Amino acid sequence: MAKTSIRALSKTLSQMSQRHASSISSQTRLGMLRQVTKLIRDLAEPADLMAMHRESMLELVTIRSLISMNVFRSLPDQGSISSQDLSKSVGAEESLISRLLRMAVASQLINQLPDKTFTHTKYSRGYAAELGNGVAFKVLYDESFMPLSRLHLWLKEKGLKEPNRQETSPALWLDGSEGKLFFDMLQQDPVRLADFQKCMRVVGDYSLPPSQYYDFGALMDESDRPVLVDIGGGQGQTLVDVLSKCPHIPPDRVVLQDLPAVVATAKRSSLLPADTPIMDYNYNTLQPVQGAKAYLMRRILHSWSDEFCVKILKTNIIPAMAPDSVLLISDYIVPDPVSPDDIGPVSSALAMMALAGKERTLEDFHRVLGEAGLKVTGVFKPADEHFGVVEAKLRDAAEDGAPAASATLRAKL
């Protein structure tokens, strides 16, 4: 790499870091990290890059092992702890703990003092938090990284083609559960399901809520039909945000839907107002709420192949839509072509391959929605974000609006 390029990158980083770290916005910080990555890649020789990849693989293994042994949460909040005491606390052999801790220290995940005791860093505290990076890392590692680490073997057995059926996806194949669906499998394992829900909450915090770039308030009309149905909405975080941003929308005119185990948790959490309907619903079945103004599917379609998305929409969602209903899909919108700045959506697109799912380009959305009988009517996203909302309506929708939801239906809600 030319010395002038190194100097230019170094100058850029210096200018970006003039402010104190606490005053740097997340967008600026991510920009700086991308510049650092570019500098490292430009400086590295091929052998250097291979060595860094080796270290990264072993760092991932170290983190997952320490999480499983509860090491991060066993580090004292204040002060330090010896490897002997830490091994006793987690019930593991000291020689095992010591080897993993050395890698964690070398990776700057944990700090080691001159007296050979260990203390937290900001990273280990993040992995120790009850609703933090630890549970998200665990789920992403187990449900995505592990299957994809065997992708070459899956391809050798199944053929060199994109996974397109969840029942035979790399994740179900590695789990020995081919023939099942991932979310049905989660329903049978309360601990795994709870961890998955926590992970979704953590990952959801990484992106702006849809209300930051889509005007949900404009969906409100004078009828008494549901304004917004959040399909697969988890604990209701998105609806809580929408109701907060749009106080003119009555809480009883938004609906939260998810699988029974998730709904049970949502009801216990009481995040939503008491009069907000919360319904058991599997989007593999016909949508029971007819004629709502909007149906939201946030981080849903990316779990499925194009073929299955068309089937879900055409068979189960579109029949419930009124002529003026809108379908809102909130997912990554993958740029095409891509650049190193697009690592977020591109890495997520590969991660979803574990379940035979995919993140989509705008062209992909037009094609999939078109095959289902819908037409894209708007794309809403901040200029500097990859996450957005794709709005679609029935291709042959009438201009005169939709009927209000029936009194019978509202009674069921």
Q: Could you please report the per-residue DSSP string of 160-172?
A: SS----GGGSHHH
Structure tokens at 327: 């379908």
- 302 part of the active site: yes
CA dihedral 4, 8, 9, 11 (to 10 degrees): 130
d(CA 58, CA 41): 20
Which member of 120, 152, 248, 302 is catalytic?
Answer: 302
Is the sign of the CA dihedral 250, 251, 252, 253 positive or negative?
A: positive
| Count of other CB atoms within 10 angstroms of residue 145 | 15
d(CA 168, CA 283): 20
d(CA 272, CA 290): 22
Query: How far apart, in Å, are the Cα atoms of 321 and each of 89, 325, 385?
Result: 56, 5, 29
363, β-bridge pairs? none
Find where tokens 């990484």 sit. Answer: 206
Structure tokens at 108: 């700057």
Q: Which of 126, 39, 410 is nearest to 252 (CA)?
A: 410
d(CA 93, CA 44): 38
325 in Cβ contact with 295 (< 8 Å): yes
β-strands 326-334, 294-298: how paired? parallel
Query: Which residues lie below 8 Å from residue 140, measured CB to CB, with a gap of 6+?
Result: 199, 351
Give phi and psi for 111, each to the nearest 5: -105, 140
Give catalytic residue positions.
302
